[in-house]
Structure 1
Amino acid sequence: MQADHRAATAKGAATRGHIVDRALEMVRVGGFDGLSIGSVAQTAAMSKSGVFAHFGSREELQLAVLDAAAERFTREVFVPALRAPRGLARLRAIVAHWLEWLRLSEGGCPMVGAAVEFDDRPGPVRERVVFYEERLRAELVRAVRMAVESGELRADTDAEQVAFELFAIALASHHDFRLLGDASPRGARALERLIDSHRV
C-alpha cells in the first residue's frame, strides 16, 4: 500500500510538472493573460478536468508558472555564478548569466512579461511577481556589498543604486534582444562602465 501511494504521488508530481512546463512555454509566447485551464489542457494533451485536478483555478496555475520560472532563473543564473569568488568576479558572473538567460529565453523572460502585465493589477499574482523581484534586487545588493567588502569597490558605493542600475541594464538588454533583435554586447559594456565608476 505504501509503495502504491509513493508511486501515485510520484505520478501526480510528474503530471503537475508536465502541465507547468507546457504552461510556461505558452506564457513565453502569449503572456499570462492567454493562460487558461482549457488552453493548457489542449497544449498538454489532457482533459480540462485532469488539469483542474492539479490546479483548481487559473490564478493557481499562473502562480505555479511564476514559481517554475523563478526556480529556473535561479538554477541558470545564480547557481553557476556562485562558483565565482566573492566580489567583482561573482557580480560579473551574475550579470553575464542573466544577460545570457534573457538572450536565450524563447519568446522572452516570463518574469519580465509578468511584471509588465501585472504592474497595475492588484492580487496574488502581482504580489508573487513583486516578491521575486524584491528577492532578486536583494541578491544584487548583496553581491555589490561583497565587492565593497573585498576592497574592489569604494566603501561609499551605494549598493542599492548599483543594483537598480544593474536591473536597468538587464531590462534594456531584454528590450534590445526581443524587440530589436540586437545581440550586441552593450549590456556587458554598460556593466563595465558602471563598475569602473565605483572602483577603488
Structure 2
Amino acid sequence: MTEQLTTDGRVARGDRTRRVVLAKAVDVASVEGLEGLSIGRLAAELSISKSGLIAHFGTKEELQLRTIRAARAIFAQTVIEPALAIPPGMARLRALLDAWVEYSRDRRFPGGCFFARAAHEYAARPGPVRDALAAVDEEWLGLMVEAITQAQDAGEIRPDVDAGLLAFDLVAALDSANLRSLLMGSFDVYDQARRAMDERLSAAAT
C-alpha cells in the first residue's frame, strides 16, 4: 500500500509539472515561436531541473508537439466547445466566428492566435511539427465547412453556396484581423473583420 501511494504521488507530481511547463510553453511560443522553446529555458524560468524536464519531454521536438496539443486543448475549450453547445445552423456558425474573434482579441495567448504564429513559422519546414500544425488547421477549416453545411441543411444558407469557399473566406478574415491587430497594435481590425464576415454571410443567406 505504501509503495502504491508513493507511486501515485510521483505520478500526480509529474502531471502537475507537465501542466505547469506546457502552460508556460504555449505562452512563450505564441510570442516567440515554437523554435523559441527550449528545455533549458523553461527549466530556468520555472525553477525546475533541466534533467527533470528531459525526463518528462525527452527532446525539443517532443516538447514542441506537446505544446501544440496543449494549445489545441485550450483553443477547443475556448472557441469550439461553447459554440457546439448551440444547435446546428447559422447561430452556431456565427458563434464559432465570434468566439474566435474574442479568443484572438482577448489575447488568450499573449501573441494572439497560437496557431497563426506557429503555422507561419513552420509552413515551409517539413516534419512532425508542421504535420501537427497542418492537422489542426485542417480540423478547424473542416469544422467551419461542417457548420456552413449544417446551416444549408437548416435552410439558412443557400444550397448553391460553395461551403468550402465560404469557409476559406471567413477564416481568411479571422487570420487577417489577428495578424494586423498585432502588427498595428490596434483592435479596430476586429470590427472590420466582423463587418466583412457579416457581409459575406448576408450574401450567402437565404
| 1:120-178 CA distance string (max 9 Å, x none) | 00110000000100011110110000110110000111111111111101111102221
The answer for the alignment partner of 2:14 in structure 1 is 12
Cα distance in 2 for residues equivalent to 1:45 and 1:109: 27
* Uncovered stretches (5+) of structure 1, i.e. residues with no partner: none
Amino acid at match of 2:18: R
Stretch deviating more after TM superposition (1-10 or 181-190): 1-10
The answer for the alignment partner of 2:90 in structure 1 is 88
Contact 2:31–2:117 (Cα < 8 Å) also in 1: no
Q: Residue 191 in 1 paired to residue 193 in 2?
A: no
Percent identity among equivalent residues? 37
The answer for the alignment partner of 2:182 in structure 1 is 178
Deviation at 1:24, TM superposition (A): 1.4
| Match 1:99 to one of 86, 98, 101 | 101
| Match 2:150 to one of 141, 146, 153 | 146
Alignment RMSD, CA only?
Answer: 1.1
Cα distance in 1 for residues equivalent to 2:113 and 2:202: 28
* Uncovered stretches (5+) of structure 2, i.e. residues with no partner: none
| Match 2:159 to one of 155, 166, 172 | 155
The answer for the alignment partner of 1:79 in structure 2 is 81
Cα distance in 1 for residues equivalent to 2:18 and 2:187: 35
Amino acid at match of 1:151: G
Residue aligned with 1:33, SS:
helix
Kindly tell me the number of residue pairs found equivalent between the two proteins. Answer: 200
Contact 1:27–1:35 (Cα < 8 Å) also in 2: yes
Deviation at 1:61, TM superposition (A): 0.3
Deviation at 1:189, TM superposition (A): 0.8
Residue aligned with 1:197, SS:
helix
Contact 1:81–1:90 (Cα < 8 Å) also in 2: yes
Which runs of structure 2 are paired with 1:116-135 in the superposition (5 Å)?
A: 116-135=120-139
